[in-house]
Amino acid sequence: MKKPFKYRRVLLWTMRITATQLMFALWFIGTGYAHNSNAQSLLSEKITVVAAGSEVRKVLNQVEKQVDVRFVFSSKLIKSARKVTVSATDKPLYEVLDQILTPLGLQYEVSGKIIILKRQDALPTEVPTKGISPKRNLTGKVVDETNTPLPGVSIVVKGTQTGTTTNGDGGFELDVPDNAVLVLSFVGYTTKEIPVENQSVINVTLEADVRALNELVVVGYGVVKKSDLTGSVASIKSTELNAYPATNLMQSLAGRATGVQISQNTGAPGSPISVRIRGTNSVQGGNEPLYVVDGFPYSGNPTLLNNADVESIEILKDASATAIYGSRGANGVVLITTKKGKSGRVSVDLDTYVGFQKPRKKIEMMNAREYAQFYNEQATNDGLAPHFTQDEINGLGEGTDWQDLALRTAAIQNHSVSVNGGSEKTRFSVSGSNFNQGGIIIGSNYVRNSVRANLSTDFSKKFKFDINTILSRIDSDRKNSEGGNRGSSLISAMLSGYPTVAPLTPEGNYSNLATVYSWGSNVITNPLNFIEQQSDHIRSNKVLANGALTFIPFEGLSIKISGGIENTDDRIDGYTTKKFVNSLGSASISTTQTTSLLNENTVSYVKEIGKHNISAVAGFTYQDLTTTQLNTTGSGFVSDIQESFDIGAAATQGVPVSNYTKWSLLSYLARFNYSFNDKFLATVSFRADGSSRYTEGQKWGYFPSGSIAYRLSEENFIKNIPFISDLKIRVGYGETGSTAINPYFTLNQLASGKVVFGDALTTYYAPGLRLAGPLKWETTSQSDIGLDIGFLQNRFSLTLDYYIKNTRDLLNNVPLPSSLGYGYTINNVGKVQNKGFEISANANILSGKFKWDVSANASINKNKVLKLYGGNDVLGEAINISVINDNINVLREGESIGAFYGYVEKGYDETGKIVYEDYNNNGTRDIGDKRIIGNPNPKLIYGFNSNMSFKNFELNIFVQGSKGNDIFNLSSVNQTMDYGQALNMPREVFENHWTPTNTNAKYPLITGKVSQAQVSNRFVEDGSYLRVKNIQLSYNLPVKDIKWLTNAQIYVSGQNLFTFTKYSWFDPEISSYGGSNSIRMGIDHYSYPTAKTTTIGLRVGF
């Protein structure tokens, strides 16, 4: 009954989306042909250029950054000191060019996306000079590194005024002397000298001058040139984001930016991603960064986005960059910009790939024969009769491999199509995508369908309107039965299952593992129960829409009013059938709706006065977020057909639970940027946030920041150093905040419940264990000093940053005397510090036919708890796995957040049992013997990317890793030490345990009489790893002669193919209890395994 219903809903939803896409496409395409030629569309694009007495080249650079064009001209055509004054706001390109070029006596021609400048009086192509007699006619062609012709290249005979420029095909002809040397110059390329010698035909390849690259970087409420940045900002472009398949956009950032630690909590499809920017700041509050999608502060991780829809991601790391976001910037800010439409012909881009995934690793477990021998030894040690006779052992072979039964090779695929284009006044971008990932555990998957539309239109010269809409639907069947112990969860049962037992009985029923051996676990469950008789399905509909109206009353000033809405509707249906062992049929339904409204109003001003440049933005914003929840359960069903879709049919109804929360935030913001002669740069910002979460008198927080930068490369004493092409030093300080509490934590709340009063069930209201009190903001202050340096015309560049980040007024639980009737309260009593060093490097090692570019980054962060209430430890929540029930993590002054806390093993006694250190010398094992035994925070994270290309082939290798972090392998507690439950165990336990002849073994005496397991350093493992994250080989198909194709690439890639680590379990990139505010970090508790993936894909542009 479920499947037809499910697929009918999917089909109807797909039809609606398809119809919507079609209407959008028809409307947008209909508006996209106001001009008949590419040149006309190009010249009609509107730009804003404001310059007062600026150098011509710098003004032309401004134009190139706003329009996809390149200016080419002779280096002698425009003197370097020539300056112009231009004032054009939202004007067509042809009007701006007239303002710039007419006073210089220049005109232009358009060739594709090249604008060639020349004199209005049409200079002759050759100017003979005295004393030099032309003796040879020379012809040739000039191309770039991709063999594309370069029109407008200046070619001059060295030491003369004889010269010419290349035509639209890059060709030239010139009469030269026999001993001539040609000097070729072209804006954006390095100058080249070529001796003519005896040649009559010369073909030249010019190499790009990377000094000309000055890309724009998105910052909070604006954009700046990368060279003008005064804060610490990492920028990742779309080519890097789409380098390999990823379920979550944030996965693509792993190893790409300094100071950013990204890890997947488990290997499950759609598993949450943990992101930490420059360490962990808070205990009560979240530690995830703020995500801003097209200007909208998003409430969580942006899972609704498809990688192919993203133009760029900027990560704001230091306080001078994040303070403009005030109370939400303490953990860093991730700015996500989706692709926008451009004027000109309509273009269509297709990006598609298919592939397969396999488990990265299996745990090598005992086979049936080894299992029987192992537990016979346990029986002997415990004085019991053997569990298996020798004949039974001789008849056993490999037995059942439960990992092979539960794991599989799974498919993965992604298909996305985007349509972009527009006219002079209206630009659009529309895309649709389907991502489908099967899980490597049978029955699990993750499917995301999304539609995105961006529209920009100019009503007039003074008004323009932008709207962005993203619709996404996520469907996922989850097999996340993790955690547990002794075979009570899917992953635990997959490893603990008895190899001596077949999965099915001769009658075709599931083998009941809990009853096979009387000396075995009474909770172990056949994994087939979880795989085939239990479902956990989530459906999530997500909408993000925002629009903006911009008014430009006069040049340089713009007023922007924007608004948006985010809405997420989640429904989780769970069902356990009557065929599941000991089940009467049980269902659960959980629904959550989250709605956020945003209004932002800003005024921006830009002005250039001689050598002075100023820009400013000020405004106020309002945002709220409302969450409602409804959960219910039921058990005891007559039939499994209706599953959770008729929960009223359950014999036993659970008590429904509903919930409502709302918070709002009102903010005022301002930022001022100043630069003098492109040499001295300064930024000052301020934000005031008022939050509904706090009590009167504490509602407002104030967050200032300032930063300065000095471009030493503009000084003559640096210009005289030939190998230094860029040098800038940055210094910044700022404060950001975190609300860090739930919306009603400053109020004394009453919780409802049921109690028998008389002979009736009556509702009651009572306070909880927490006593509310006045609280204030957690505040993070951060100082940063950075250095940007480029060598050899920026072929090699280096960025260095050192920071100190202190979070004060840390919110923390404070225990109360029991006489008060409350267990605890929350106060601002803590302080945490993160300090570290970051380095990133880029190198253009080889250019020409064979190109080789590499980039690398490394980050060191030291996290320390400086202050806690009364200096007392704060223990992480205890974890109960039967054999142990204890705390694993601790907060302690002087240690890192989440440090592992437990006993230290001393060795074995004469009987092979574990002996622990008795640090307090009282003869017993107690809390006084516990010590810090590990640290889940890495000392170093790093990434390395290599991109090589030769002709049409490209090879990309991306390596990422972590060093110095520990993992507490909670899975191995049961799996290697719980000897009295008949659990299967890794083969090394069988091969390397204590016996009278093997007293230095890794594992103790095999006995089930006494539990030897404790939270100890035995289970702390080195979590360092180096992973070849992606290898991709691609071939760019030659499409020059195919008019309807602009580009085509086919590629093969592999992800997680090689991982080098000492960690013994499935994967070192794990954190089973990871969350935005969890201190139980670095624990592996029967987590979903990680996959390695191989894909083949195609990218085509029409």
Residue 1046 DSSP symbol: S
- Taken in order of first residue, the domains within the chain and their CATH numbers are 38-119 (3.55.50.30), 136-208 (2.60.40.1120)
Count of residues in the chain:
1102
Average pLDDT on 809-825 reads: 85
Q: What is the pLDDT of residue 1076?
A: 64
| Residue 212 clears pLDDT 80, i.e. is over it | no
**Distance between CA atoms of residues 53 and 38, nearest Å:** 32
**Distance between CA atoms of residues 1035 and 1048, nearest Å:** 9
849: left (phi over 0), alpha (psi -120 to 50) or beta: alpha
Q: How confident is the model at residue 5 (pLDDT cuts 50, 70, 90)?
A: very low
Q: What is the pLDDT of residue 346?
A: 86
Q: What is the pLDDT of residues 574-613, one digit of tens each?
A: 999 999 999 999 999 999 999 999 999 999 999 888 889 8
367 bridge partner residues? none
**Distance between CA atoms of residues 386 and 381, nearest Å:** 10
**Distance between CA atoms of residues 4 and 221, nearest Å:** 48
Least confident of 78-82, 195-199, 419-423: 78-82
Secondary structure element (H or E) that encloses residue 840, with its range:
strand 824-846
Q: What is the pLDDT of residue 878?
A: 87
Q: What is the pLDDT of residue 638?
A: 94
| Residue 133 clears pLDDT 50, i.e. is over it | no
Average pLDDT on 7-15 reads: 40
Q: What is the pLDDT of residues 703-713, one digit of tens each?
A: 999 999 999 98
Q: What is the pLDDT of residue 690?
A: 92
Q: What is the pLDDT of residue 31?
A: 36
Q: What is the pLDDT of residues 49-105, one digit of tens each?
A: 877 667 787 788 788 878 877 787 765 667 655 677 777 777 778 778 877 887 777
544 bridge partner residues? 470, 566
Tokens describing residue 311: 């133009």
Listed in order, strand segments (DSSP E) in 692-767 are 700-711, 724-738, 750-757, 760-767
Minimal CA–CA distance to 38: which of 111, 90, 99?
Answer: 111
| Matching residue, tokens 């405004």 | 619
31: left (phi over 0), alpha (psi -120 to 50) or beta: alpha
Average pLDDT on 440-447 reads: 95
Tokens describing residue 216: 């724009």
Q: How confident is the model at residue 13 (pLDDT cuts 50, 70, 90)?
A: very low
Average pLDDT on 672-676 reads: 91
Q: How confident is the model at residue 569 (pLDDT cuts 50, 70, 90)?
A: very high
- Torsion angle (degrees, nearest 10) of CA 377, 379, 383, 389: -90
Q: What angle do CA 15, 19, 22 make, to 5 degrees?
A: 140
Q: How confident is the model at residue 193 (pLDDT cuts 50, 70, 90)?
A: confident
Q: How confident is the model at residue 12 (pLDDT cuts 50, 70, 90)?
A: very low
**Distance between CA atoms of residues 236 and 730, nearest Å:** 21
Q: Which residue has the higher pLDDT, 932 or 229?
A: 932
Average pLDDT on 12-33 reads: 39
Cα–Cα distances (Å) from 64 to 35, 38, 44, 363, 873, in that order, read 21, 17, 14, 56, 58
Instruction: Map residue 850 onto helix, strand or coil.
Output: strand
Q: Which residue has the higher pLDDT, 182 or 151?
A: 182
% of the chain at pLDDT higher than 90: 50
Minimal CA–CA distance to 719: which of 788, 790, 787, 785?
Answer: 790
**Distance between CA atoms of residues 1084 and 1021, nearest Å:** 11
- DSSP string across 636-663: --S-STTGGGGGGG-SEEPPPEEEEEEE
| Residue 566 clears pLDDT 90, i.e. is over it | yes
Average pLDDT on 129-139 reads: 60
Residue 1088 DSSP symbol: P
Q: What is the pLDDT of residue 591?
A: 97
Q: What is the pLDDT of residues 631-662, one digit of tens each?
A: 999 999 999 999 999 999 999 999 899 999 99
560 bridge partner residues? 550, 602
Q: How confident is the model at residue 23 (pLDDT cuts 50, 70, 90)?
A: very low
Per the CB < 8 A criterion, the answer to whether 182 and 151 are in contact is no
**Distance between CA atoms of residues 542 and 956, nearest Å:** 34
Average pLDDT on 969-986 reads: 95
Q: How confident is the model at residue 189 (pLDDT cuts 50, 70, 90)?
A: low
Cα–Cα distances (Å) from 500 to 371, 638, 714, 742, 816, in that order, read 8, 35, 76, 51, 54
- DSSP string across 43-86: HH-EEEEEEEEEEHHHHHHHHHHHSS-EEE--TTTS-TT-EEEE
**Distance between CA atoms of residues 807 and 820, nearest Å:** 31
Q: What is the pLDDT of residue 73?
A: 73
Cα–Cα distances (Å) from 776 to 289, 669, 697, in that order, read 20, 20, 9
What sign does the dihedral 119-123-129-134 (CA atoms) show? positive
| Residue 232 clears pLDDT 60, i.e. is over it | yes
- Torsion angle (degrees, nearest 10) of CA 1055, 1058, 1061, 1065: 70
What sign does the dihedral 83-86-90-94 (CA atoms) show? negative
**Distance between CA atoms of residues 995 and 1033, nearest Å:** 52
Q: What is the pLDDT of residue 79?
A: 62
Q: How confident is the model at residue 7 (pLDDT cuts 50, 70, 90)?
A: very low
| Matching residue, tokens 């397969």 | 356
Tokens describing residue 1067: 């994967």
Q: What is the pLDDT of residue 1066?
A: 94
| Residue 352 clears pLDDT 90, i.e. is over it | yes
Minimal CA–CA distance to 181: which of 206, 165, 205, 163?
Answer: 163
Q: What is the pLDDT of residues 288-327, one digit of tens each?
A: 888 999 888 888 888 888 888 888 888 888 888 888 888 8
Average pLDDT on 905-913 reads: 93
pLDDT mean across residues, the chain:
86
Secondary structure element (H or E) that encloses residue 19, with its range:
helix 2-30
Average pLDDT on 908-914 reads: 94
Tokens describing residue 1027: 């992973």
Q: What is the pLDDT of residues 756-793, one digit of tens each?
A: 888 888 889 998 888 888 888 889 999 999 999 988 87
One-letter amino acid identity for 454?
N
Tokens describing residue 240: 């890097």
| Residue 1 clears pLDDT 50, i.e. is over it | no
Per the CB < 8 A criterion, the answer to whether 13 and 473 are in contact is yes
Residue 877 DSSP symbol: P
| Residue 1068 clears pLDDT 90, i.e. is over it | yes
Buried residues in 424-456 as b, exposed as e (16+ CB within 10 A): bbbbbbbbbbbbbbbbbbbbbbbbbbbbbbbbb
